Structure 1
């Protein structure tokens, strides 16, 4: 399960190059005038998910304090993205689950995790500030706020199907698509205790991911199952299952928890022993600002890691690590 470091670096650089070079994809460009969380190409991609046959690419940009990405979506057929209509949430999950066997689209993504990177910078370059954030033997405010992702950045390739929840020609400044298929991600560093560890890793997974937005409501979800494998022998290879759901409703009461909340849970087991090595769980509450169309969010959670999560010099022998999460954010 080990990778060749040179191959991983070359693949990662190739993915990034494909995303930042605009020449081969004249139809995919960022529209700086677009407002909100996502900027998309003008025309069919912006007004609805079903495009004309001449448009084969879309560019999506997602800006977030914990996960920022740019995605290039390409069609493998001349058919437009299919419209699945206004369905209930359960029906969406069911339809996506059984429609990924025939890939019709691909997606290239370059991503960076700003807050985890900030934690690395603070610990490395502002050591006094980092140590002043200690509130006990196992509690550090910088670590609590910046924890979550185990890598600073990644490049990914997705192959699967895409469906639309918006009708063709629908005049909406919103993003209404569901993705289902297979994902390959690569990177060259691992984060442990706000420190960068050299590690050429790759990750393979099958996933369902969707974003459904209207002027008054936003629903985001994902289900993933896969494995992550490391060239660094001190980092355990894992298999995992992950669930995430987030809902924002501007018409719901501010006290409504289910309609303005989210959760994420990921469990990792060793690919060799199948023992639990990591649990990641967080819940968040959203307070929508109705007249401004954004929400203030606060996520609380925990990360548990067994002493078998790492080996060699990275292992804390006989010590299970429990890390708390506190993630303030703004959702547009």
Structure 2
């Protein structure tokens, strides 16, 4: 396995983006107006962490729409999404799923200690649902700030609508890395709205994913996600501190369903430090036709995997 080399490549990519962007901001002759056209942000999460470079394709910086209604914001984005005004480069890594791969490859004893029963491994349940350890992405579309003019900027707190192209060189199956150059293209609408008392994020996306490894089926997919944290609500409040995600994959060959991915979560916010602890439960169902050749299970049956995913949101 090339786990260590893969991790080093991801780290090198993140450092390259950081250094490149730092040099951009260091060019004082560009003026304050030009600086607003380029920005660097990052997201840290145990399951998905990224560093993003925003570049405006026009003379205008990212607009503030904090006072607009949510429906009105996305109506404006939808009408203008066919003319991309922003370019975004992203390098992302899935830390805990990558750790699951590492443990199974390099520390099998620790991985096997997670086996609660013959059909349930805790480490696998905590990392199920992620099919790649990392990715490089390019987004073309429109971006808005949810903050109102004069309001303190929070990382994230943006809305997106446009087209995303992603690629990577590995696929994850049962916590094992498989060599696979894959390419993904999607149209998406995404929001991450933050206030001092709440956080609401959501996404809707449709797209397709192609694999150079012929033993992995090419797919089309549909996905929807929504998550809410309310620091003012009672810890027992379910709807105001919860989330869900659902993704369905179908084969590009015959449109048979290849995968269902679904979970719901409950959050317990901690207002004093601005974080929330959550537990997600769900499942991943995969058709026995998703893989072929050496990747296909000997027993011709569909695969069902429970999800049990603790997390901390900042």
**Structure 2 length-normalised TM:** 0.89
2:174 is the counterpart of 1:193: yes
Give runs of aligned pairs for residues 119-158 of structure 1, distance below 5 A.
119-158=100-139
* 2:41–2:155 Cα contact (<8 Å) kept: no
Greater fraction of residues in strand: 2
Per-residue deviation, 1:21 = 3.3
Q: 1:21 to 1:173 in 2, by over 3 A?
A: closer
Cα distance in 1 for residues equivalent to 2:15 and 2:303: 38
Give the root-mean-square deviation of aligned CA atoms. Answer: 2.3
Cα distance in 1 for residues equivalent to 2:166 and 2:99: 22
Deviating more after overlay: 232-241 vs 170-179:
170-179
Partner secondary structure for residue 26 of structure 1: helix
* 1:99–1:180 Cα contact (<8 Å) kept: no
1:280 pairs with 261, 284, 295, which one?
A: 261
5+ long unaligned stretches in structure 1: 1-11, 30-50
Q: 1:246 to 1:52 in 2, by over 3 A?
A: farther
**Structure 1 length-normalised TM:** 0.84
- How many pairs align? 300
1:258 pairs with 239, 252, 258, which one?
A: 239
* 1:174–1:214 Cα contact (<8 Å) kept: no
Give runs of aligned pairs for residues 195-234 of structure 1, distance below 5 A.
195-234=176-215
5+ long unaligned stretches in structure 2: 1-9
| Alignment-derived partner of residue 6 in structure 1 | none
| Alignment-derived partner of residue 74 in structure 1 | 55
* 2:14–2:51 Cα contact (<8 Å) kept: no
Give runs of aligned pairs for residues 49-198 of structure 1, distance below 5 A.
52-173=33-154, 175-198=156-179
Cα distance in 2 for residues equivalent to 1:172 and 1:162: 15
Cα distance in 1 for residues equivalent to 2:222 and 2:78: 15
| Alignment-derived partner of residue 249 in structure 1 | 230
Q: 1:73 to 1:117 in 2, by over 3 A?
A: same
Cα distance in 1 for residues equivalent to 2:11 and 2:35: 29
Greater fraction of residues in helix: 2
| Alignment-derived partner of residue 26 in structure 1 | 24
| Alignment-derived partner of residue 320 in structure 1 | 302
Cα distance in 2 for residues equivalent to 1:201 and 1:14: 20
